[in-house]
């Protein structure tokens, strides 16, 4: 039977705080913008979409191929797309579709939660391998989660949801990171196929949300060049993040 010692508790608390920090910083950025114009809102959602697309293309998919293989990456990505497409249809039937912004936020949150779980496992395993590696992974993931917080918060800001609720909902997307870290710490390692499956599913879900929801919605809100520039700047910013970090 596994008992929690003081060092393990400290590590888990540290990982939990760090995993929340980046996401909540991103959420705060979205909340600081009061009564955004359609031009600004289109650019903001476009920016978040561009960053997410870049992260999927240059980070998640290559990492999934590395952990697993090309065929399995494509297969799990397609499964992820099918899952989120079904969820999209289900939420539409239940009336969530009447609020496009809220639906985008919901689907984005689902993708990010699946994405954050393997990140947590990597963080936890990093501490088992060596303290410095774990701390490095925490910092990288915290920075990486800032635009994800913006991606979840921006559509909810457009829906006029209470700021406190937005803050809470955004924080919930970071919880799988802490759960994953707990698993990583206790098992010290994890099957490559488990990581590959999580990354592949997250890739498919995020691709669907970005291409099928966020970009079209950004252009619906404001179809001018500002939205296009937001998407392109987000994509390049995401590329820079993936390259530097």
Contacts of 221 (CB under 8 A, 6+ apart): 38, 41, 42, 45, 158, 227
Name which residue leads in pLDDT, 212 or 157: 212
Whole-number Å distance between alpha carbons of 160 and 235? 27
Q: Please answer whether residues 166 and 27 qualify as being in contact, where contact means their C-beta atoms are separated by less than 8 angstroms.
A: yes
pTM of this prediction? 0.67
* 64 or 129, higher pLDDT: 64
> Is pLDDT above 50 for 96?
no
At CA 216, angle to CA 211 and CA 219, rounded to 5?
A: 135
Q: List C-alpha distances in Å: 62 to 73, 86, 142, 200, 208.
A: 9, 26, 20, 10, 18
CB 46 within 8 A of CB 151: no
pLDDT at 71: 94
Q: Give the range among 43-57, 102-116, 217-231 with minimum mean pLDDT.
A: 102-116
Out of 11-15, 127-131, 175-179, pick the least confident.
Answer: 127-131
Question: Alpha carbon of 8 to those of 12, 190, 239: distances in Å?
Answer: 6, 18, 35
């Amino acid at each position: 039977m596994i008992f929690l010692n003081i060092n393990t508790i400290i590590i888990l608390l540290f990982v939990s705080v760090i995993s929340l920090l980046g996401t909540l910083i991103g959420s705060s950025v979205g909340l600081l913008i009061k009564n955004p114009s359609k031009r600004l809102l289109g650019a903001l959602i476009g920016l978040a979409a561009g960053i997410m697309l870049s992260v999927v293309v240059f980070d998640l998919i290559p990492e999934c191929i590395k952990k697993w293989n090309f065929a399995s990456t494509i297969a799990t990505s397609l499964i992820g797309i099918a899952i989120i497409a079904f969820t999209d249809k289900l939420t539409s039937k239940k009336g969530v579709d009447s609020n496009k912004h809220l639906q985008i936020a919901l689907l984005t949150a689902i993708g990010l939660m699946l994405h954050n779980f393997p990140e947590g496992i990597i963080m936890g395993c990093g501490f088992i391998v060596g303290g410095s590696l774990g701390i490095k992974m925490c910092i990288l993931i915290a920075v990486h989660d800032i635009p994800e917080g913006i991606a979840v918060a921006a559509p909810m800001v457009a829906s006029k949801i209470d700021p406190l609720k937005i803050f809470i909902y955004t924080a919930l997307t970071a919880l799988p990171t802490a759960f994953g870290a707990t698993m990583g710490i206790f098992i010290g390692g994890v099957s490559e196929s488990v990581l590959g499956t999580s990354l592949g599913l997250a890739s498919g879900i995020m691709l669907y949300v970005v291409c099928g929801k966020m970009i079209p919605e950004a252009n619906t809100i404001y179809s001018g060049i500002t939205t296009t520039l937001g998407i392109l700047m987000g994509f390049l910013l995401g590329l820079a993040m993936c390259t530097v970090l």
